[in-house]
Structure 1
Amino acid sequence: MASSNQPLTALAMAVLELLHERPMHPYEMTQVMRQRRTDRRVKLRPGSLYHTVERLESQDFLEVVDTQRQGRRPERTVYGITELGRDTYAEQAREMLATLAPDYTPYPMALAAGTELSREDFLEQLGLRVMNLRQQLAADKVAVDHLLGEDLNRMYWVDFAYVNHQRKSELEWTEKLIEDLESGRITWPDEKPEQRPELSIVETKDETDDQAS
C-alpha cells in the first residue's frame, strides 16, 4: 500500500525511533518504552501500540523480519524499519526539531485561572504540584541510573533528559512563585499592593535627555 503524507503520530515516531536500534516485536517495544520512560511523553497503551504498528506496516514503513514463539505463548511478530520508514522518520524529525509548535500543556492555563481560587487554596495546590514534581524527579533519577547502567548511547534517551530538565525548571519556577506570594513580592488581586517608589515621567525624560547629550 502506498505511504500516507499525513504526519506521523507521537507514538508512531516512538516506534520508529526504537526500530532504528534493532528489530523488535510490539511487546518488547512496550517494555523498552516503559524502561526508558517514553510513556511519560507518549500515550502508551498496548492496543494503540499494536494498531500503530499495523498502520506503519500498511504504509510500508515497517516490515516483518521474523516470528518468535516461546513455549506455549502466542507467536510474536518481529518488525524492522524499512528505508522508506527511515526517510520519513528523518524528514519529520528535521521539521519537528526546527519548528516551534504551539504548546497546549495545561499548567499555564491553570495558572491563569488560579485567581478564581483563594490565595490560600492557590498556594495549597501549588504545594501539591511541587510535591508531585519532586516525586517524579526522584522516579526520573531511578530511570536515569538504569539507563546509565545499560551503557546506552545518550542520544537514544536525550528526549528523556530534555523532559527531566523541563521538570526541574518547572519545579524551580513554581517554588519561586510560592516564595514570592508568601513573602508579598507578588500580591493577590484582592490585596492592597505594596507602595513602591515609581520614576516620574519628568525624571525619565530628563534622564533620556542627559543620555542623548
Structure 2
Amino acid sequence: MNPTRLFVLSALAKGGAMYGHQIRRDARVDRADLWSDVRPGSLYGALHRLEDEGLVRALRTEQEGRLPARTVYEITDEGRRELAVLQAEALEEVRFPPDPVDLALATTSDMDEATLRGHLEDRVRDLTARLSRLDHLGERRWPDQTPADDLVLEHARLRLRAELDWHALVLDQLGKVGVSE
C-alpha cells in the first residue's frame, strides 16, 4: 500500500480539482507527516505517475502573473476505484516495521552499560519531545480538523507512550541485558 498515492487520490476525491501546490499545502495543513509516510516533496512525482496510469487527469494549466504555470488535476473514475482499493488495503494492513533499536539492543554485549544507557536516555528525550509536540498540537485546532483527525492524533500519542513505557522497562532491566560493565 502506497500512502502517497492514497493521500493524493483522497485529496482530489475530497477537495475536487487541484494543482500540485494545493495538494502539498493540504499535506502540511493536515499534518500528514505526523501520521503517515507522506512527504510533501514526493507529491509532484506521484501526481505525474498517477496521470501516466490514468488515475488522475490534467484539466488545464493556469498561470497568474509571473508565477509558474500550474497544472490542475482531477481524479478519474479509475482513480476512484484505485482509491477504494488503497483505502481497503490500508485499513486491513497492520504494519509494525522492525525498529533498528531492537537489533542494536540485541547486539550490545560489547558495549559498556553507561554508553548504552546514554543512548537510550537520548531516545527517551527525543520520544518525550515528540509526545509533547503532539500534546501541544492536540490542544490547538487546525483548519478543517475532524473527529477522525483527533483519533489519528491519539493513535500517534498512544504509540509514543508505548515506546516510552518500553524504554523505561529496558532502562530498568539494563543490568540483565548482558552489556559489559
Into which bin does the TM-score normalised by the smaller protein fall? 0.7 to 0.9
Alignment match, 1:98: 92
Alignment match, 2:178: 189
Rate the CA distance shift 1:144–1:28 in 2: closer, same or farther, 3 A: farther
Question: Which of 124, 135, 160 is matched with 2:129 structurally?
Answer: 135
Query: Is the contact between residue 36 and residue 160 of structure 1 (CA under 8 Å) also seen in structure 2?
Result: no
- Cα RMSD of the aligned pairs, angstroms, is 2.8
Aligned residues between the structures: 179
Alignment match, 1:17: 10
Partner Cα distance (2:62, 2:137) in 1: 29
Question: Which of 159, 167, 188 is matched with 2:160 structurally?
Answer: 167
Query: Is the contact between residue 62 and residue 69 of structure 2 (CA under 8 Å) also seen in structure 1?
Result: yes
SS in 1 for 2:58: strand
Moved more, 89-98 or 131-140: 89-98
Q: CA deviation at 1:12?
A: 1.5
Question: Which of 80, 84, 90 is matched with 2:74 structurally?
Answer: 80
Partner Cα distance (2:64, 2:157) in 1: 37
Alignment match, 2:57: 63
Query: Greater Rg, structure 1 or structure 2?
Result: 1
Partner Cα distance (2:171, 2:136) in 1: 28
SS in 2 for 1:20: helix
Query: Is the contact between residue 55 and residue 78 of structure 2 (CA under 8 Å) also seen in structure 1?
Result: yes
TM-score by length of 2: 0.80
Q: What 5-or-longer segments of structure 1 have no aligned partner?
A: 1-7, 192-213
* Amino acid in the other structure paired with 1:17: S
Alignment match, 2:103: 109
Q: CA deviation at 1:95?
A: 2.6
Q: CA deviation at 1:43?
A: 5.3
Q: What percentage of aligned pairs have identical amino acids?
A: 24
Moved more, 125-134 or 8-17: 8-17
Q: CA deviation at 1:59?
A: 1.1
> Any idea what the Cα deviations from partners look like across 1:109-134, whole Å, max 9, x if unmatched?
23323334221111111100011111
Q: CA deviation at 1:42?
A: 1.7
